Every structure is written in C-alpha cells, then in structure tokens.
Amino acid sequence: MLVVAPDAVDEVAAHAGADRLRWERRAYRPGDLVGAWLVHVATGDPAVDAAVAGDAEAQGTWCVTAADAGLATAWTPAVARTTLDDGGEVTVAVNAGGDPGRARAVRDAVAVALETGELPLRATRPGTTGSVALVGGGPGDDGLLTVRGRHLLAEADVVVVDRLAPRGVLARLAPDVEVVDVGKTSGHHPVPQDEINRVLVDRALAGSRVVRLKGGDPYVFGRGGEEAEACRAAGVPVEVVPGVTSAVAVPAAAGIPVTHRGLARGFTVLTGHESVGAVPAAPDHTLILLMGVSHLAATADALVAHGRSPDTPAAVVEDGYGPGFRTTVATLGTLARTVEEADVRPPAVVVVGDVVTLSPAWRDRA
C-alpha cells in the first residue's frame, strides 16, 4: 500500500514505521496511480481530489472520493463486527448511496443491535462444543436484563427458564430454540434440581449453547453455584452473568432503599426459611427476606424475641415489576395479621427496618 501525503495522522505514521505500508511525504503527482487497482482520495482540496479522480477514470482504476461522491467509481462500506462466543464473527457492511455519514449512522445502529442481541446471532450449523451460561434475568422486567444476557440469548440453542425470569424475552427467540421450563413455586418443585443440572450438562455435551435464564441473580439464593459446579464437574464451559437481585430491586420499586443516610447503614438478605436470630437488631440495619411469606408470623415473633421493637416498620412487596405489584406496610408486631387480611401471595419480598418509612405506601397508610 502506498500513501502519498505531505502529512499523516499518527496511525499512518506508525504503520509506515513498521513497514506495513509505504508513505511518501509529498503532494500528489500525475503518474502516482500507475499500476494501482484502487485509490482512495481525501486531500481536502477539491482540485486535487478531482485531478486524482480524473486520472483514475482515465486508466480504469476504481476510485473512492471521501469529499465528493459524484467523482467516485467505488464506495467503501461502513463496517460493524461482533465476536461470538462460539469463536465466530458476524460482519455487516453498510452502503448508503454514496453518503458516508448515513452509512456510518446505520452502521452504528446495527453495531448496537448486534451487541445487545436484538439481531439473530444463533448459528444454523450445529457446533461440536457446547457451553452453559447462567444468566441473571433481574426481577422480572425485560428491560432489566443485562446486555450480556440478551447477547447470549440471541446465540442460544436451548433456554432453561425459571418461573420468575423475564419471560417476555422468550417471544423473541427463533422458533426452533428449545425452551425447557423448570419453574418452581412455593412447595412445588416439578423439576428437581438434580434434573435441572442434568439437562444443562446433557444439552451442552451434545453441542448446544445453553442459557440458564434465572430470576434475580444466579448467586443470590438462585442455586446457581450448584449448577455451575455440575457443569464444571462434567467438563462443560460455564459463564455466570450477574443479574439485578430482587432483594434490592423490588424494595426500590416500592420506594424503599435498603440503605439510606441517617436510617440504615447496612442490610442482610435471608430466605424466610433461615434463622433470623443472628441478624443485628439495631434500627439502622435493614433485614430483607426472600421467600418469606409463608413463615412470616414465626419470623416476626423471632425478630421481636431477639431485640427488634414490635413498632419497627415493615413492608411486603408483592410481584415486583409484575402485573400484581403491591406494597403492604405495617409494624413488625402487626405484620403477620395485616398480610393475612390483605391476602398477600408470593412471590414477595419482605423488608424490615426504618427505611420502610420512605415508602409512599407507609406515608399513605391509614
């Protein structure tokens, strides 16, 4: 490659210094195009650009002109590339009728769609090496799924999905993507964890790219650690994609920050099945319970017995980000009765602590 220019940007100079191209530091001269099959002119001087384009036309050389598409006989596309997890690459080239600005704008939009998984990235030829990605889907809203999670879904051959995962994204999958529903409800686990582990490993060993789409974060009471161990034990590559945990996101949706200056300096997250005796009873420490509705009366009694005031504000947030979203507030001493009277149903997140007073539901309570 020959570059003819009195001056050049640092990148061109670096390539010339590494002998990857030849740079002649001078103005264009007739005869410079002899032997060339493609020329790109971008001098900034219309007269010089026209002279180069004329010489190229005279000898039948393709010519790209950056400033004047009317002089060009060739156009360079704006290119978007994305690297896939199977080692492949997707390249999209955009031409826009000689308008490079328009081509770049379209290219940039395509690049975003590739990176966010909005365009189909799934291979149509089966691979020999499968993998598993444990993807945290967040608290159920499609918009809270990470960009990395969407990208992996766009490449997936198999999606193993939880009940509380953002199921709206499943409608965007190709029709031949296998969807395995392993959703659990309180006290009802139709697909045991060992069977879930087996499905992940077997599909991956058969060469499929498997996404385990989970609610919240895979490592926050999601049994993602067990699934990752099962995959690694079988020699299956596994990736963990963090998600927005419902322990923080669902209270936030109800206007409850888990920490707040002057009210709470820390927080503890437990499931409703665990002992709460070791949780700090200080009023500036927030307690968050997941899967805790069915044991709420016993939990409230235990908290009071371990030093929490029965007047401590508490809230139960149902179906965060879902159609049944509702916040029920009470004091710790009246919480179990209030929840029963309101017919609160899981899934729900329980919050105990002074931060509950920041919730609109607390301010609006009768």
Q: Which of 364, 309, 361 is nearest to 331 (CA)?
A: 309
259 and 240, same domain (yes or no): no
357 and 255, same domain (yes or no): yes
Convert the pLDDT of each residue in 159-197 to its tens digit: 999 999 999 999 999 899 999 999 866 555 688 999 999
164 and 218, same domain (yes or no): yes
148 and 227, same domain (yes or no): yes
Is 123 among the domain residues? no
358 and 302, same domain (yes or no): yes
Domain residues for the domain of 188 are 131-244
pLDDT computed for residue 177 by the predictor: 95
CATH number at residue 145: 3.40.1010.10
In the chain, how many domains are there? 4
62 and 99, same domain (yes or no): no
252 and 349, same domain (yes or no): yes
pLDDT computed for residue 187 by the predictor: 57
236 and 254, same domain (yes or no): no
Pairing of strands 131-136, 238-241: parallel
What is the amino acid identity at position 34?
V
pLDDT computed for residue 68 by the predictor: 84
286 and 352, same domain (yes or no): yes
pLDDT computed for residue 119 by the predictor: 87
pLDDT computed for residue 291 by the predictor: 87
* pLDDT < 70 stretches in the chain: 126-127, 184-189, 366
Q: Which two tokens stand for residue 339?
A: 């929840």
CATH number at residue 344: 3.30.950.10
Is 25 among the domain residues? yes
pLDDT computed for residue 99 by the predictor: 82
Where among 244, 276, 296 does a domain terminate? 244
109-123: b (≥16 Cβ within 10 Å) or e: ebbeebbbbbeebbe
Is 121 among the domain residues? no
CATH number at residue 16: 3.40.50.720
pLDDT computed for residue 89 by the predictor: 87
85 and 37, same domain (yes or no): no
pTM: 0.77
Is 304 among the domain residues? yes
User: Packing angle between helix 193-205 and helix 224-233, nearest 10 degrees?
Assistant: 40
Q: What angle do CA 132, 133, 139 make, to 5 degrees?
A: 140
Residue 359 near residue 264, CB atoms below 8 Å: no
